[in-house]
Amino acid sequence: MFEKLEIFRTAQAMAVHAGARQAVVAQNMANADTPGYAAREIVPFKAVMEAGNSGIGQKATRAGHLNGTNNSLQFDVSETRDALADPNGNSVSLEEEMIKAVDVKRQHDMALAIYKSSLTILRTAISR
């Protein structure tokens, strides 16, 4: 029942995006000293929602369904182009990655807050 409500699907998509972005940030931090490693990034959640490939639109459950998709949430990982590289060719800045990690935590907390608030509203509506 809850997966059919748009607000819950949006909150789930935001949480999944935050998890995927955290994985990329962690990978960048783990490779901070690897020669030739280029820092990677995922497009912001807002851009994913505006592009319409958030996985929360119409969904095809059979081949005969029109205008639906079978794909799940997928985020493109790209190399950060404007990062300055060290002499060994590594472009990871630990300071920037720490800031990104804090931003990811805020995004995940926001997704949980949206989900929790929506659930409270739903409970209030049902109880009356």
Q: Measured over all CA atoms, what is the biggest interatomic distance in the chain, rounded to whole angstroms?
A: 66
Judged by DSSP in three states, 96 sits in: helix
Mean model confidence pLDDT for the chain: 81
* pLDDT value at 28 more than 60: yes
Q: Count CB atoms within 10 A of the CB of residue 10.
A: 18
Q: Over the stretch 51-71, which tens digit does the pLDDT of each residue have? A: 765 455 555 566 665 555 544
pTM of the model: 0.74
Q: Over the stretch 15-25, which tens digit does the pLDDT of each residue have? A: 999 999 999 99
DSSP letter for 59, please.
B
